[in-house]
């Protein structure tokens, strides 16, 4: 079972992207543009109409090991 990285909800997307390797590309591929980077996680999730858990999962996902997605 993969470990879950917890990010404080008051951290901005910019701060989260800076500290999580690969987060920028995962957010970009999910359609999250840099205009949301000043938002806190909970505010960005609300503005994007997605659950904050999904947004956190995109940011904190482990880097791919090269295998195909399941």
Residue 4 lies in a domain: no
User: From its phi and psi, is residue 5 left (phi > 0), alpha (psi between -120 and 50) or beta?
Assistant: beta
Residue 35 lies in a domain: yes
Residue with more model confidence, 56 or 68: 56
Residue 42 lies in a domain: yes
**How far apart are the C-alpha atoms of 62 and 54, rounded to whole Å?**
14
pLDDT at 9: 72
**How far apart are the C-alpha atoms of 70 and 18, rounded to whole Å?**
27
Summarised one tens digit per residue, pLDDT across range 13-63 is 999 999 888 999 999 988 899 999 999 999 999 999 999 889 988 888 776
Residue 22 lies in a domain: yes
Residue 2 lies in a domain: no
Domains held by the chain: number: 1
pLDDT at 37: 93
Instruction: Print the domain residue range for 49.
Output: 13-60
pTM assigned to the model = 0.73
Residue 28 lies in a domain: yes
Residue 66 lies in a domain: no
pLDDT at 64: 57
Residue 67 lies in a domain: no
């Amino acid at each position: 079972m993969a470990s879950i990285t917890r990010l404080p909800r008051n951290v901005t997307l910019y701060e989260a992207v800076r500290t999580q390797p690969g987060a920028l590309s995962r957010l970009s591929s999910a359609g999250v543009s840099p205009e949301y980077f000043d938002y806190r996680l909970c505010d960005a999730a609300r503005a994007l109409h997605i659950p904050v858990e999904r947004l956190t999962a995109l940011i904190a996902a482990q880097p791919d090991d090269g295998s195909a997605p399941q």
